[in-house]
Copies of this chain bind each other. A is one copy, B any other.
Amino acid sequence: MGACEVGLPTVVPADGLPARVTIWEVGARDGLQNEQSVVPVDVKIEFLDRLAAAGLSILEATSFVHPKWVPQLADAEDLLAALSRVDGVRYPVLVPNDRGLDRALAAGVRDIAIFGSATETFANKNLNRSLDEQFSMFEPVVTRARAEGLDVRAYVSMCFGDPWEGSVEPKQVAAVGKRLMDMGCSQLSLGDTIGVATPGQVEAVIAAVALDGVPVDAVAVHFHDTYGQALSNTLAALRLGVTTVDSSAGGLGGCPYAESATGNLATEDLVWMLDGLGVETGVDLDKLADTSAWMAERLGRPSPSRVVRALRG
């Protein structure tokens, strides 16, 4: 360690923040699905095992989207068959439709996530459906999953801006979120898919969602760091009472349409802030940074996480 490196932040709590935050770790899914290369299944399994050992309790493991669309996660069945689940850790998987749910049930999955769109254009491009048609696609999936005793999370993409439509109305995000929750989803993850949000907008969208009757403890935030805004947006959300934050170990992932864009909020950068604020996460930052440094070596490029680069660069 050089003279300018330190291992841990000084702990100074701030008013108006939750005592504990649950991190929904998406690196193995949202991170790896955006990699150019396909990561071998045994590396993915070691990655998940190491993340669990670092104290993360929710590990989004893979996706049952058709392999034609996400070849990086075509090994979903193999991965889930070989994975040793750690007690107390949840391993949700992404499920787009009935066929995906069949595959998830056959693989013994207990937690799934569906992914809706807040905008017409992205519903078209990502789901090949209109904004309205997405609900008829998701409804039977959620109903059957609930009947099988599964927990279902609903992602909503493009909540803060859309690359084709520009601005997105908070009311529209709230309306989409409400319909997905009414189907029986237990949690709503508000996604800033292109990373453009700023804190006032975060407050406005969460307020609109709450006004439509979704309680704030059922809301998660999912920020991308494309414009460097992810952590300050997270802070704004925590001040409103949000207690679940999506992030990606090492900042893995990104936008498949823009090579230079950085990906999800890095779990390490989030944990540094929460550790400093005395907000409990259960995560061991040291082990986590080791894991991301190890994964960066496997991927052959440096981690975009600033904490990982500062501690392990």
Chain A residues near B (Cβ < 8 Å): 2-6, 9-14, 160-161, 163-164, 166-168, 194-201, 203-204, 225-229, 231-232, 234-236, 255-262, 266, 269, 272-273, 275-278, 305-307, 309-310, 313
Contact = CB atoms under 8 A, between A and B. Distances in A.
30 contacts: A4-B226, A4-B255, A4-B257, A6-B161, A6-B166, A6-B194, A9-B161, A9-B196, A9-B201, A10-B160, A10-B161, A12-B201, A195-B310, A198-B275, A199-B273, A200-B278, A201-B276, A225-B306, A226-B306, A226-B310, A227-B272, A227-B310, A228-B269, A228-B272, A229-B276, A231-B232, A232-B235, A235-B236, A260-B313, A261-B310
Given A9-B197, A228-B306, 10 more contacts: A3-B163, A3-B258, A9-B201, A10-B166, A200-B276, A227-B272, A228-B266, A259-B313, A260-B310, A260-B313
Contacts of A258: 2-5, 310, 313
Summarize A's interface: helix, strand, loop or mixed.
loop
A294 to B, nearest CB: 16
A35 B79 CA distance: 46
A236 B16 CA distance: 12
